[in-house]
Amino acid sequence: MDPTLAALLDGIGPRLRRIRQERGQTLEALAAVTGLSISTLSRLESGRRRPTLDLLIPLAQTHRMALDHLIGAPPTGDPRAHLTPHRHDQRTGNPSVVVPLTTYPHRLQVFKQILGPSPAPTRLVTHPGHAWFYVLAGDVRLLLGDRELLLQPGDTADFDSAEPHWFGAAGERAAEVLHLYGPHGDRPATTSTS
């Protein structure tokens, strides 16, 4: 067997263990969600069982990770991202250009959003999930329930998108935000290194 392939296969078990532990899951909890037995998961993590697609796919789905990220596969092909910006629907009262930075389905989505000047909305929107954004440039007006906030470069907003909300450029100049949206209530996590 090719030494590079052997090293990749040998590293999958410890990687699976690290992912599970970083997410605070026990083998029992992971077994209950994936339908795989505790002994199978334990043998995968210890390297006593070779990973196969029928074992890795439920783990990738549970962890909401692309299979290549789950196993730590080396990158292939052209590493450049080919971003496809698109205009946000003008009927929402929030003209913008959205540049998707991730394309993983049913997972935390990341995109850059350029918010054009827009009037106050006639109604706030709600939808399932969790939103977080960081203001890169310009000023952003955020309406969240009955509160109105003015955010400037370096400011962040973090809220449950089931709460009525709207955000757009404040004033006549465009604003730019780095936006994360979790359709299942996923949120960006912070880790203390001290």
Could you tell me the residue ranges of all domains in the chain? 3-71, 86-182
Strands 109-115 and 147-151: what pairing?
unpaired
Pick 134 or 65 by higher pLDDT.
Answer: 134
Average pLDDT across the chain, whole number: 82
Pick 175 or 102 by higher pLDDT.
Answer: 175
Strands 165-169 and 140-144: what pairing?
antiparallel
pLDDT, position 49:
93
CATH superfamily of 3-71: lambda repressor-like DNA-binding domains (1.10.260.40)
Per-residue pLDDT tens over the stretch 13-64? 999 999 999 889 999 999 999 999 999 999 999 999 989 999 999 998 888 8
DSSP secondary structure string, the chain? --HHHHHHHHHHHHHHHHHHHHTT--HHHHHHHH---HHHHHHHHHTSS---HHHHHHHHHHHT--HHHHHTPPP-S--------EEPPGGGT--EEEEES---TTS-EEEEEEEPB-PPPSS-B--SSEEEEEEEES-EEEEETTEEEEE-TT-EEEEETTS-EEEEESSSS-EEEEEEEETTS---------
pTM over 0.85: no
Per-residue pLDDT tens over the stretch 76-99? 666 665 667 777 664 555 677 888
Q: With 70 as the cut, is the pLDDT of residue 153 above it? A: yes
The CATH architecture to which 86-182 belongs is Sandwich (2.60)
pLDDT (average), residues 135-146: 92
List the one residue out of 156, 145, 194 whose CA is nearest residue 178: 156
Q: With 60 as the cut, is the pLDDT of residue 145 above it? A: yes
pLDDT, position 117:
83
pLDDT, position 72:
81
pLDDT, position 27:
95
